[in-house]
Amino acid sequence: MEALPLEWVRAARYCEIAGESMDTVYDRIAGGTWAAGQHYKRTGPKTLWINLPAINQWIRNQPHVEALGFPRASKSKQV
C-alpha cells in the first residue's frame, strides 16, 4: 500500500513542521491572510486543521523581501 501525501494536518503539527508559533497561525486567520476552508478548517471548538498544499501555494505567491526593498539580514556581533 502506497502512502498518500498529507493534505490536512492539525495546527500544532503544522507549527512543528514550519517552525511557526500558534500565535502566527491565529494572526493570519484573524487578519484574513488565510481563508477558511482553503488554508484552514475548524472541525470543532478546539480542532484546527491546516491545508499544507494551500499554504505552500500561499508561500509561493509571497514576494521576496528583497523585491520589497528590505535590507538583507545581517549576523549580529556579540559584545
Tens-digit pLDDT string for the chain (79 aa)? 666 688 999 999 999 999 999 999 999 999 999 999 999 999 999 999 999 999 999 999 998 877 677 777 666 655 4
Give the number of other Cβ atoms within 10 Å of residue 38's Cβ. 12
Confidence at residue 65, expressed as pLDDT on a 0 to 100 scale: 76
Alpha-carbon span 38 to 36, nearest angstrom: 5
pTM: predicted TM-score of the whole model, two decimal places:
0.77
Q: What is the pLDDT of residue 76?
A: 60
Pair 7, 54: CB distance under 8 Å: no
Q: Where are the domains of the chain?
A: 8-60
